[in-house]
Chains A and B, each alone.
Chain A
Amino acid sequence: MIAVAHAVDAVMIDIRNVVIRYGTNEILRPTTLQVTAGTIHGIVGPAGSGKTSLLRSINKLSVERDGATVTGSIAVDGIDVLPLRGEALAALRRRVGIVFATPQPLPRTIFENVAYAARVAGISDMTTLTGMVERALRAAQLWDEVADRQDLMATQLSGGQQQRLCIARALTLSPSVLLLDEPCSALDPVTTRRIEDTLVSLTPAVTVVLVTNNVKQAERVASRTSFFLMGELVETAPTARLFADAGDVRTRDYLSGRFG
Chain B
Amino acid sequence: MTLPRLLPPRVAQRVASLALWIATGATVGALLFIIGFVVRRGASTLSWEFLFASPRHSGALGGILPTVVSTFYVSAAAVIVAAPLGVAAAVYLAEYTKESRLTRSIRSGTEALAGIPSIIFGLFGFAFFVTTLGMGWSILSGGLTLGLMILPTVIRTSEEALRAVPRAYRDVAQSLGASKWQSIRTVVLPAAAPGVMTGVVLGIGRAVSETAAVIFTAGVALKMPWSPFDSARTMSVHFYTLTMEGISDDMAYGTATVLVVTILVINITAYSLMNRLTRKYR
A–B touch (CB < 8 A): the answer is yes
Which residues of A does B touch, CB under 8 Å?
59, 61, 64-65, 67, 86-87, 90-91, 93-94, 97-98, 100, 102, 104, 106-107, 116-117, 119-121, 155, 169-170, 172-173
- Nearest-neighbor residue (CB-CB) of B186 within chain A: A120
Determine if A61 and B175 form an interchain contact, defined as CB atoms under 8 angstroms apart. yes
**Interface: B174 (CB within 8 A):** yes
B169 engages A90 (CB within 8 Å): no
Chain A: CB-nearest residue to B280: A107
Q: Which of B20-28, B177-185, B222-230 interfaces with chain A?
A: B177-185
Closest to A93 in B: B177
Interfacial chain A residues near B171, Cβ < 8 Å:
61, 65, 100, 104
Chain B: minimal CB distance from A18 (Å):
19
CB distance from B165 to the nearest CB of A (A): 10
Q: Is the CB of B175 within 8 A of A120?
A: no
Q: Give 18 A-B contacts (CB < 8 Å), ordered by A residue.
A: A61-B171, A61-B174, A65-B170, A65-B174, A93-B177, A100-B171, A100-B172, A104-B168, A106-B169, A106-B187, A116-B173, A116-B176, A117-B176, A120-B176, A121-B177, A170-B175, A172-B176, A173-B177
CA distance A71 to B230 in the complex (A): 63
- In this assembly, does B281 line the interface, its C-beta being within 8 Å of a C-beta of chain A? yes
Q: Which 10 A-B pairs have the closest CB atoms?
A: A117-B176, A94-B177, A104-B168, A93-B177, A120-B178, A107-B281, A98-B175, A90-B177, A104-B172, A90-B179
Q: Which of B139-183 contact A (CB under 8 A)?
A: 166, 168-179, 182
A85 CB to closest chain B CB (Å) equals 10
* B282 neighbours in A (Cβ, 8 Å): 107, 155
Q: Is B74 an interface residue (CB 8 A)?
A: no
Cβ–Cβ contact B170 & A120, under 8 A: no
Closest chain-A Cβ to B56's Cβ sits at a distance in Å of 55
B215 interface hit (Cβ, 8 Å): no
A100 to B166, CA, bound (A): 14
Residues of A within 8 A of B168 (CB): 100, 102, 104
- Decide yes or no whether B64 CB sits under 8 A from chain A: no
Q: Does B135 contact A (CB under 8 A)?
A: no
Bound complex: CA of A59 vs CA of B282, how far in Å?
A: 28
The reply to whether A169 and B176 form a contact with Cβ atoms under 8 Å apart is: yes
A161 CB to closest chain B CB (Å) equals 17
CA distance A100 to B169 in the complex (A): 11
